């Protein structure tokens, strides 16, 4: 009887398992319908750029017929830099992807896909080819808006990228290596990624296979909505390595709307140089954890300067948005309307303070205005194990320091070296006090508390940066 019950139990388990397998299979994402509905809206983009090259010119009587084995060798030695040669046209080509925004012919792609192109041809899934013109292109966001003369085109459905979640399934359709309508799937790996060359785009990171030719193509969610524009990959080999980046659709659409309305893209400007807050710096500034954007420099007469933002402030919130890292601030600033007054919450002297900033337009090559002047001198601080000197006028111009500050001459083993202070650094402030002279630096250093992180602002050739200085108790 007992044996019979065991067999019944095993039979039930087997049946239950068998029934659950199809249910598990059905829970996996199904992309066939999504691809079928949207392939017609995804296009292949080919561009042609006319270049100017120079034709080989040899001494009279030494012409060599094209195609001869020696031809390439002579081209190497006599062209293309030979003076007096007549320019000859040549062409370069590139491939990319794009997608139809509206049935009347508006198309979105990447800026780098169509950059400097003299001719742009878009090819649809039914092999129809049309010439496209560029209505506008923005290098900072890597978004371009094209237009073809056509009606009744199949357009994509646009989604809300702000509702995207890590772990969500996504699908890319594009033309990798020129293979039209290729579909690849994966998940969202991270949100709000900022890359060194793209400060104003909070990228969507995925593990979707993206290769050359996918650039400018759409990234879909499971509802068949475009939530991103595939733009770049991280690779050490040149091929896909499991890390790809897409421009969020809300960022891309903002660019498109500006191109349509005013023909160009404008961005907000705050006028600060910022850095991340480390654990040691968080302690020195009175923060419970490392977060926010630490202001290492304020551009004179900038919106930040006019609002009272100071060097050493930690920006915690911008217009209601919490700033977790320094890289999360530029996208919020860039998308703020020109002339809009917004609240900015900063941590200053271990107390929160709310300021109002009127955002101005970001201009290219915006830089601080710097002047010069000081006297030479040299002193040693044994407690920090550092030798410092007054700045010369030449050094002020070299390091972009208007007034005050001291230059580090030597750094021995000790607290300064552990903090990361280097020879050639210009110390601008110590423990949130502006350095006016070498003697004042020593006075401040003498009174620094032991076993406590102290902020030090230094100016290097690469820019301003905060360091956390900690003196061990004796």
Helix (H/G/I), strand (E/B), else coil: 198: strand
| CA–CA separation, 164 and 349 (whole Å) | 37
- Bridge partners, 410 (sequence order): 387
Residues whose CB falls within 8 Å of the CB of residue 447, separated by 6 or more in sequence, listed in order: none
Please state, in angstroms and rounded to a whole number, the distance separating the CA atoms of residues 467 and 275. 11
User: Encoding tokens for residue 117?
Assistant: 């192109």
Q: Which residues of 287-301 are buried (b: 16+ CB within 10 A; e: fewer)?
A: beebbbbbbbbbbee
Sign of CA dihedral 395, 400, 405, 410: negative
Does residue 327 sit in helix, strand or coil? Answer: helix
Structure tokens at 342: 């917004």
Are the C-beta atoms of 227 and 161 separated by less than 8 Å? Answer: yes
Active site residue ranges:
112, 142, 215
Could you give the residue ranges of the DSSP H alpha helices within 240-381?
A: 249-262, 279-284, 303-307, 329-334
- Residues sharing a CB contact under 8 Å with residue 419, sequence separation 6 or more, in sequence order: 456, 467, 468, 469, 470
Residue 78 phi/psi, 5-degree rounding, is -105, -15
Query: Residue 189: which H helix or E strand, with range?
Result: strand 182-195
Q: Report DSSP letters for 284-313, one per residue.
A: HTT-SSS-SEEEEEE-TTSHHHHHT--TT-
Q: Of 99, 101, 140, 138, whose CA–CA distance to 122 is shortest? A: 99
Element holding 341 (H helix, E strand): strand 341-348
Q: How far, CA to CA in Å, does 462 sit from each of 166, 398, 400, 420, 458? A: 34, 11, 11, 15, 11
């Amino acid at each position: 009887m007992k044996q019979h019950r065991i067999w019944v139990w095993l039979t039930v388990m087997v049946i239950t398992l068998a029934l659950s397998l199809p249910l598990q299979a059905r829970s996996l994402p199904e992309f066939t319908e999504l691809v079928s509905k949207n392939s017609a809206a995804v296009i292949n983009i080919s561009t042609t750029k006319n270049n100017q090259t120079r034709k080989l010119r040899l001494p009279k009587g030494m012409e060599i017929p094209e195609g001869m084995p020696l031809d390439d060798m002579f081209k190497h030695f006599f062209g293309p830099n030979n003076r007096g040669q007549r320019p000859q046209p040549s062409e370069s080509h590139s491939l990319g992807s794009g997608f139809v925004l509206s049935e009347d012919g508006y198309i979105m792609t990447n800026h780098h896909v169509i950059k400097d192109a003299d001719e742009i041809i878009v090819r649809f899934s039914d092999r129809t080819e049309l010439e496209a013109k560029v209505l506008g292109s923005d290098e900072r966001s890597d978004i371009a808006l094209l237009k073809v003369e056509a009606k009744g085109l199949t357009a994509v459905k646009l989604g809300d990228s702000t509702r995207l979640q890590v772990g969500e399934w996504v699908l890319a359709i594009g033309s990798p290596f020129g293979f039209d309508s290729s579909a690849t799937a994966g998940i969202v790996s991270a949100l709000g990624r900022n890359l060194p060359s793209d400060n104003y785009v909070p990228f969507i990171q995925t593990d979707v296979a993206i290769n050359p030719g996918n650039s400018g193509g759409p990234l879909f969610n499971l509802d068949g909505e475009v939530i991103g524009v595939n733009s770049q990959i991280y690779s050490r080999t040149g091929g896909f390595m499991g890390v790809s980046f897409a421009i969020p659709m809300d960022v891309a659409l903002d660019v498109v709307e500006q191109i349509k309305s005013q023909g160009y893209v404008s961005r907000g400007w705050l006028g600060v140089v910022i850095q991340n807050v480390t654990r040691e710096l968080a302690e020195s500034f009175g923060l419970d954890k490392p977060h926010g954007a630490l202001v290492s420099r304020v551009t004179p007469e900038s919106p930040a300067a006019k609002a009272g933002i100071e060097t050493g402030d930690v920006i915690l919130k911008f217009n209601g948005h919490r700033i977790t890292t320094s890289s999360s601030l530029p996208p919020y600033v860039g998308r703020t309307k020109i002339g809009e007054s917004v609240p900015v919450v900063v941590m200053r002297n271990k107390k929160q303070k709310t300021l109002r900033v009127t955002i101005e337009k970001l201009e290219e090559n915006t830089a601080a205005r710097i002047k010069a002047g000081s006297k030479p001198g040299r002193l040693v601080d044994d407690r920090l194990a550092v030798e410092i000197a007054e700045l010369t006028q030449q050094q002020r111009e070299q390091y972009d320091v208007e007034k005050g500050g001291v230059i580090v001459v030597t750094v021995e083993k000790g607290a300064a070296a552990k903090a990361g202070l280097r020879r050639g650094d210009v110390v601008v402030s110590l423990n949130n006090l502006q350095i006016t002279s070498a003697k004042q630096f020593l006075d401040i250093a003498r009174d620094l508390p032991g076993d406590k992180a102290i902020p030090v602002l230094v100016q290097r050739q690469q820019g301003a940066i905060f360091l956390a200085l900690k003196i061990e108790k004796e």
